């Protein structure tokens, strides 16, 4: 469960580097735009110093091994600093090319890839998933029922309408995860052997299609395996593996050359950021050691990458689909992705565990602030997402900026992701 969304997108809770020439060199090495002196005009250097102090305090308290933080505005870094260690045991410092497990921050990448096919006219949001994966035409919906004696059982009902590509992109497919909740369908996910052995995307979705949905498509937001199925759809439409398609159409052209589903070069093992020695991530969604080759290319949680790579993706989205003179998405497509698709009038109910909160909805691959509380640091239209290991970002179109934080801290990410954004907001000059 991604606790930061309970905080960042509700009212509950979401080093100091001077802008000198040396930062321009470091940023360029990381694939981040060079810093002009005018970029920091809307930020207080004293406020940014407090941001850096906060991150160092987390390291001193033993909560995180280290982190890299980037604040980028008007296409240029306002703040970029590497804190602490990437590996405490090996005493390796954070570097521009440190590799992080992205987990659910893989989802926005998969969403972009799918929307590129939509822009190409090869995929439609209204298409039934069964057009590309026929097994989903016959999937059932699991419904818990009680008899007169009070005993409950799981009954299977037919689909009232097909699962669509839009359902996959906005988590309204009825597909769920088995690592949270205790209802009968999630129990089936947990005990079905979904991640047993080795398998590729085709085999994985074939396993999923044998399980019942948690609810009827298009009726409820339910965080789950939708983006893994979307990754398989991309493969069927493109005739390539998910990584081959993303590498050819998005990652290489965009300069995201260190983003992949595993670290292929064993010599790069020291670059992979590690958790604190006593900070463990429970087994979730079948994702394993990124140094080990894996046939499964999980569009929902399987990628690794660097801060420089992900910054280029975010800048492209902030630019309305272009970067360095090349268009990846239509501006109206980016706007569609960053718009709420599950709010009032959508007919979509919230689940019992709606960790996005009352102040936000969900777009296509990202959460979207819809109704920020008065006097809060949030802004309507701001969108973002995170990964369970600690990486997170948010994009603020109003101020033409984004914040990207890369760290590997499953246990303490929630409090850091909650406390950091208000500090950054206070560092901005009115």
Nearest by Cα to 261 from 237, 238, 235, 222: 235
How many CB atoms sit inside 10 A of residue 388's CB? 23
Indicate whether 2 pLDDT > 50: no
CA distance 310 to 312: 5
CA distance 163 to 173: 6
Indicate whether 24 pLDDT > 60: no
The bridge status of strand 76-87 relative to strand 92-93 is: antiparallel
Please give the span between the terminal C-alpha atoms of the chain, in angstroms, as a whole number. Answer: 36
Which distant-in-sequence residues (6+ apart) come within 8 Å of 105 by Cβ? 303, 310, 385, 386, 387, 391, 392, 393
Write the DSSP string, 136-188.
GGS--EEEEEE-TTS-EEEEEE--SS--BHHHHHHT-SS---SSS--SHHHHH
More confident residue, 32 or 101: 101
The pTM score is: 0.90
Nearest by Cα to 391 from 303, 294, 290: 303
Q: Which helix (H) or strand (E) holds 84?
A: strand 76-87
Q: What is the pLDDT of residue 293?
A: 84
Nearest by Cα to 69 from 96, 93, 92, 88: 96
CA distance 84 to 283: 26
Least confident of 169-183, 277-291, 292-306, 401-415: 277-291
Q: How confident is the model at residue 41 (pLDDT cuts 50, 70, 90)?
A: low
DSSP E strands, 234-343: 304-305, 322-323, 326-327
DSSP state, residue 135:
G
Indicate whether 15 pLDDT > 70: no
Indicate whether 23 pLDDT > 80: no
């Amino acid at each position: 469960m991604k606790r930061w969304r309970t905080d960042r997108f509700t009212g509950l809770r979401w080093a100091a580097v001077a802008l000198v020439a040396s930062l321009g060199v470091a940023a360029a090495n990381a694939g981040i735009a060079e810093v002009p002196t005018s970029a920091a005009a809307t930020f207080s250097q004293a406020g940014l110093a407090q941001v850096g102090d906060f991150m160092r305090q987390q390291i001193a308290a033993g909560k995180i091994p280290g982190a890299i933080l980037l604040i980028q505005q008007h296409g240029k870094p306002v703040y970029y600093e590497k804190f602490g260690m990437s590996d405490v045991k090996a005493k390796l410092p954070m570097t521009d090319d440190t590799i992080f497990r992205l987990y659910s921050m893989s989802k926005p990448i998969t969403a972009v890839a799918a929307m590129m096919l939509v822009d190409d006219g090869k995929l439609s949001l209204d298409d039934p998933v069964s057009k590309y994966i026929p097994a989903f035409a016959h999937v059932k919906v699991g419904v818990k029922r009680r008899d007169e004696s009070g005993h409950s059982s799981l009954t299977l009902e037919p689909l009232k309408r097909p699962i669509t590509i839009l359902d996959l992109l906005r988590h309204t497919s009825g597909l769920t995860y088995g690592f949270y909740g205790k209802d009968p369908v999630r129990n089936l996910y947990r005990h079905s052997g979904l991640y047993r052995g080795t398998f590729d995307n085709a085999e994985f979705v074939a396993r999923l299609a044998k399980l019942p949905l948690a609810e009827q498509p298009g009726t409820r937001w339910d965080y789950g395996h939708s983006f893994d199925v979307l990754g398989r759809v991309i493969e069927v439409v493109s005739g390539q593996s998910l990584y081959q398609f993303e590498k050819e159409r998005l990652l290489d052209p965009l300069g995201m050359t260190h983003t992949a589903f595993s670290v292929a070069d064993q010599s790069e093992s020291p670059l992979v950021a590690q958790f604190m020695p006593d900070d463990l991530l429970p087994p979730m969604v079948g994702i394993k050691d990124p140094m080990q080759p894996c046939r499964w290319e999980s569009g929902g949680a399987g990628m690794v990458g660097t801060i420089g790579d992900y910054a280029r993706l975010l800048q492209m989205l902030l630019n309305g689909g272009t970067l360095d003179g090349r268009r990846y998405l239509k501006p109206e497509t980016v706007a569609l992705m960053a718009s709420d698709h599950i709010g009032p009038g959508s007919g979509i109910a919230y689940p019992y565990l709606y960790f996005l909160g009352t102040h936000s909805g969900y777009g296509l691959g990202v959460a979207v602030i819809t109704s920020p509380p008065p006097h809060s640091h949030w802004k309507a239209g701001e969108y973002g997402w995170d990964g369970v290991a600690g990486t997170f970002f948010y994009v603020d179109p109003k101020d033409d900026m984004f914040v990207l934080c890369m760290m590997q801290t499953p246990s303490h990410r929630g409090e850091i992701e909650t406390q950091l954004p208000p500090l950054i907001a206070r560092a901005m000059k009115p």
